[in-house]
Chain A
């Protein structure tokens, strides 16, 4: 046993804060923002909060919500191009793409700065410095200047760029591909994949909303309650 005299524990003064675990947030089938609570395999949807949500993403540090004309965060709101948005979240900032106007922008501190990125094709997902696009039926990962970094020939549905890999849909599977391995989950008809929280992505299909646990070593696919359209 080793003594560390420089440290003094205030034994007996330990405190505990207990709360319902929050996994992330989704826009439900009525377009209302709802917190997803619980633990893996036992989910609860919290009460509907913000109505008229077109897009919602959450990371460990923040959630961004796109309504028709604004981006809402926990600290405020900012005007934004109409329609839904595709977000790529980082620590305290986010990249946003607005499909209806074809505009890229950088969000930070409730401000939106347009970017001069010009990318050909259908934008599927964006990160801080890379974009997943579909061109002529092929999915590529490109730089903001358009140069191709990688391609995902197998992807036929939505794509979500992750900090350490990529999540994409084939016709009947969701594929989680990282440098050190790949996981496949049987799921048909994926329509969208977005970041639900720090450890989860949400996959929407025509027959339900699914939570995909992407935490390394715990990868699993779950269905969210009350999610059948």
Chain B
């Protein structure tokens, strides 16, 4: 009766008050009345409630006193004194924890401002909580915070955690709250709440974790007053080793080829990654060949993906990807990154050394010069030695015979300097005197380490 009178006296004060107190739960405010009941708290656990002090007056309030006077209670709030502007709020966290079981732990929660005061009674009931044991392969921690780790699980598979819930007390214990929340977590066996555990008894249950996609998962296991954080991670199933295949025909330089990728068996989960290419030249004159790229992007990496149940791998959303082989002999290495595979999918293509390839060639006359212009590539980077045999307009070779010229150093300098592959356009000029109109053609031999390439050119 005395307590009721005391509380009734408080109400008018609260109505006139400049500050008011609320609890905040999931963002929702609820006014604090005469009593704030923190409910049952398991021995050793910590229960917390967010307290909001709101200035509902028109003047700035200076908070000079803000305590919960009682055993086991603490408040996390700004240092005193602090001010709250009209219409503004200040949050604080009221916590309670005790190990000794007792039905009532009271405290006086009081907030004093320079205008008014607010006071309420806080109560909590410390009970002996059930004890939880988790069995391998899962691990647990009593915290705080209490947590259970399901470890790392392959997507699509199940990880089962077995538990034992014991009642250490001398009386039967009723479990009214017993549930699991969180995507991927589910109680697979055990009692349904409410249920009773006899004094000194135990009950078994199991929780499974079945992630559907790679990532980190969190959930919660709530047993009466205690909540255990559940966590687990999932990784994608390794793909069957992808097969990298190429369109038909021998690999050579200056080709645009098609890469397709497939799986030897259906993917058990969807996956994605990147297919990359790299080039290692045979020559020491160049460190790379920049023309060896995927054509769609001009780069050396493309994304790929495969859907669960399929053997088809799409590359940049297409069924295949085109790439260039460049103009350098060497090895093109295809690798996959960003995805786990059962085996190594690395695939090597060898671009063999070949004789000089001629794209176009032309022989022209200028006053005082005969010019032979050749456009092509030398994938061995060893070009330079050339032979020119000029003929008259009837096709008979001139008395000069075969003229040898060695431009090896010029080519080496060119290749080394440009680092742009071996494509070249060379114009060889022969200074001549006299009438050149009788010269009808020239047979050109271009040599490299792979052999000799011949070309017959008629002067324009």
Assembly CA distance A8 to B431 (angstroms): 9
Chain B, range 284-298, C-beta contacts under 8 Å to A: 290-291, 293-298
How many residue pairs at the A-B interface have CB separations less than 8 Å? 151
- Contact across chains for B425 and A223 when beta carbons are under 8 A apart: no
> Chain A interface: which of B37-45, B121-129, B182-190, B252-260?
B252-260
Which residue, of A13, A39, A222, has the highest number of chain B Cβ atoms within 10 A?
A39
Contacts of A10 in B (CB 8 A): 430-433
> Chain B interface: which of A40-48, A50-58, A99-107, A141-149?
A40-48
Name the contact of B427 in the complex, choosing from A17, A20, A40, A41 (C-beta under 8 A). A17
- Contact across chains for B296 and A208 when beta carbons are under 8 A apart: yes
17 A-B pairs with C-beta separation under 8 A? A1-B397, A4-B438, A9-B400, A14-B430, A15-B429, A16-B427, A18-B407, A18-B425, A18-B426, A19-B414, A37-B420, A38-B327, A38-B421, A39-B423, A41-B325, A43-B324, A225-B298
A227 at interface (Cβ–Cβ under 8 A)? yes
Contacts of A161 in B (CB 8 A): none
Report the minimum CB–CB distance from B375 to chain A (whole Å): 5
- Contact across chains for B421 and A6 when beta carbons are under 8 A apart: no
**Identity of the chain B residue whose Cβ is nearest the Cβ of A213 in the assembled complex:** B359
Interface of B (DSSP majority class): strand
Assembly CA distance A99 to B399 (angstroms): 60
Name the contact of B299 in the complex, choosing from A14, A45, A226 (C-beta under 8 A). A226
Contacts of B326 in A (CB 8 A): 42
- Contact across chains for B433 and A7 when beta carbons are under 8 A apart: yes
Report the minimum CB–CB distance from B288 to chain A (whole Å): 12
Assembly CA distance A43 to B325 (angstroms): 10
Name the contact of A199 in the complex, choosing from B360, B410, B433 (C-beta under 8 A). B360
Assembly CA distance A208 to B360 (angstroms): 26
Contacts of B73 in A (CB 8 A): none
- Contact across chains for A2 and B410 when beta carbons are under 8 A apart: no
Assembly CA distance A17 to B396 (angstroms): 28
Contacts of B434 in A (CB 8 A): 6-8
A74 at interface (Cβ–Cβ under 8 A)? no
- Contact across chains for A4 and B398 when beta carbons are under 8 A apart: yes
Assembly CA distance A3 to B399 (angstroms): 5
- Contact across chains for A16 and B439 when beta carbons are under 8 A apart: no
Contacts of A14 in B (CB 8 A): 388, 403, 405, 428-431
A164 at interface (Cβ–Cβ under 8 A)? no
Name the contact of B377 in the complex, choosing from A6, A13, A39 (C-beta under 8 A). A39
Assembly CA distance A224 to B325 (angstroms): 13
Assembly CA distance A35 to B327 (angstroms): 18
Assembly CA distance A46 to B32 (angstroms): 74
A215 at interface (Cβ–Cβ under 8 A)? yes
Contact (A42, B327) CB under 8 Å given A2-B397, A7-B435, A222-B256:
yes
Report the minimum CB–CB distance from A198 to chain B (whole Å): 9
Contact (A21, B325) CB under 8 Å given A7-B434, A40-B254, A225-B291:
no
Contacts of B399 in A (CB 8 A): 1-4
Contacts of A16 in B (CB 8 A): 405, 407, 410, 426-429
Report the minimum CB–CB distance from A59 to chain B (whole Å): 15
